[in-house]
């Protein structure tokens, strides 16, 4: 238990918790959008394609079938799968976008160094320096 608490503390202090919290909140917001998209656009579209209607003449997705007295609501199931696929796709795009942004920042840092090493005293000096501030040697 003590080890578990220590591990959690380490995890929380790493800053991953904030990232995770932001991810969860954004995920929840996206979940609402995706659910609305599915129930308002994709479900009617699917129903229009399959031509199913309920007792009021409204369109329903997929519908239900009965097997040995048990009712299977495969319409709801299809909706959930569509929700999941859209959600997964959005998450994939988000992760891909963040990875690209992060790698762009890293590359810039690596390709444009701001310091160089003085060949005489091995101290770190500014990249454009012509005289070393540590040993006063003239640098080419």
| Residues at the site binding Zn ion, with contacts judged by CB under 5 A | 118, 120-121, 123, 132, 134-135, 137
For residue 139, the minimal CB distance to Zn ion (Å) is: 7
Kind and range of the H or E run holding 124: strand 124-126
CB-side neighbour CA atoms (13 Å) of 33: 10
Considering beta carbons, is residue 55 or 128 the nearer one to Zn ion?
128
Q: Which is nearer to Zn ion, 31 or 137 (CB)?
A: 137
Closest approach of Zn ion to the CB of residue 118, in Å: 3
Residue 113 beta carbon to Zn ion: minimum distance, rounded to whole angstroms:
17
Q: Closest CB to Zn ion among 31 and 123?
A: 123
> Cα–Cα distance between 61 and 104 in angstroms, integer?
44
Angle between helices 2-13 and 16-37 (to 10 degrees): 80
């Amino acid at each position: 238990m003590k080890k578990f608490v220590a591990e959690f503390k380490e995890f929380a202090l790493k800053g991953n918790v904030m990232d995770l919290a932001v991810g969860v909140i954004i995920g929840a917001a996206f979940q609402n959008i995706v659910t609305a998209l599915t129930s308002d656009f994709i479900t009617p579209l699917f129903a229009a394609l399959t031509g199913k209607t309920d007792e009021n003449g409204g369109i329903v997705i997929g519908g239900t079938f009965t097997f040995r007295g048990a009712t299977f609501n495969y319409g709801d199931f299809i909706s959930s799968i569509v929700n999941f696929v859209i959600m997964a796709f959005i998450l994939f795009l988000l992760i891909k976008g963040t990875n690209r942004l992060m790698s762009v920042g890293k590359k810039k840092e690596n390709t444009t160094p701001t310091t160089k090493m003085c060949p005489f005293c091995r101290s770190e000096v500014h990249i454009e320096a012509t005289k070393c501030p540590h040993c006063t040697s003239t640098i080419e």
